[in-house]
Amino acid sequence: MVNTDTKRRGFWLVFGILLFVGMPSHARQPVERPSGVVVSSVSPEFPDGLHARYLHFIAQQLDVELEIIPMPFARRLASLQSNEIDMMVGLRYRADLDETLIVIQPGYERVGMTVYALAEQAQWYQKRQDLLGKRVALTLTAHGYGAYNFGEGIKIIPVSRLQQKIDMLRLGRTDVFAHLTEATEKALLARNLQERIVATGYQPIPVLSFHVAIGKQSVLVPRVDELTAIVEKAVADGTFAALRDAHYGSENDVAHP
């Protein structure tokens, strides 16, 4: 038979676990990790992609060891807010993020998104109404662009890789697609499709500015001024642009940042 003290201890143990789980993620204590190691994350689809290049460059400039744990974007952001990772890239600034994160200014990259169609159909899409009922291949992310840029009445088809978007358009499985301008132009040129697939007249997605961010209990908080100076210098001297050009010019993955 279980005595009262045992029951009471069991109750408080369960209560404590439920209380922790129910706490806001940003209120939890940072996860213990080896001294001198900065933990970050990138998409599991692109473990060696452009974001990883940016992170390795920043870690080199800070002279720290970097550990990268692949996670989807939403989990990445939650992990940064809960101090399970120290730093991430690829974040669009929003004022509400200031409550839980330190977003480094300026943005390290400004990226254009373009809507493409087959050349003989591109003139059909000059305004939003022209896309009503049409099939749009789109990468759905938490970066701050996606289906909401097109509004209701448009059939969004989630597709992450550029090559798949191009192939689906050519096969008639979609009517248009949207993707990063720089990556798309290079991919089309590489496949000699630059005259077959072109930009439409309707372009609803604004230029995006992406930032480095750290958690408010990150091991990098004492070095936030140094981190800011690294980003400022790399933007000014073109280092981030050179890393991006090297990535898109490689054979790793011209389909995605």
Task: Check whether residue 214 and residue 98 sit in a common domain.
Answer: yes
**Does 111 have pLDDT greater than 80?**
yes
Task: Check whether residue 140 and residue 156 sit in a common domain.
Answer: yes
Task: Check whether residue 36 and residue 76 sit in a common domain.
Answer: yes
Q: How many domains does the chain have?
A: 2
The CATH number linked to 234 is: 3.40.190.10
**Does 257 have pLDDT greater than 70?**
no
| pTM metric for this prediction | 0.65
How confident is the model over 164-220, as pLDDT tens digits? 999 999 999 999 999 988 889 989 999 999 999 999 999 988 888 899 999 999 999
Q: 10 in a domain, yes or no?
A: no
Task: Check whether residue 194 and residue 215 sit in a common domain.
Answer: no
Task: Check whether residue 191 and residue 72 sit in a common domain.
Answer: no
Q: What is the DSSP string of the chain?
A: ---HHHHHHHHHHHHHHHHHHHS-GGGSPPPP--TTEEEE---TT-TTSHHHHHHHHHHHHHT-EEEE----HHHHHHHHHTTSSSEEEEEE--GGGGGTEEE-SS-SEEE-EEEEEETTTGGG-SSGGGGTT-EEEE---SSS-SGGGT-TTSEEEE---HHHHHHHHHTTS-SEEEEEHHHHHHHHHHTT-TTTEEE-S---PPPEEEEEEEETT-TTGGGHHHHHHHHHHHHHTTHHHHHHHHHHHSSS-TT--
Show the domain range for 156.
Answer: 113-199
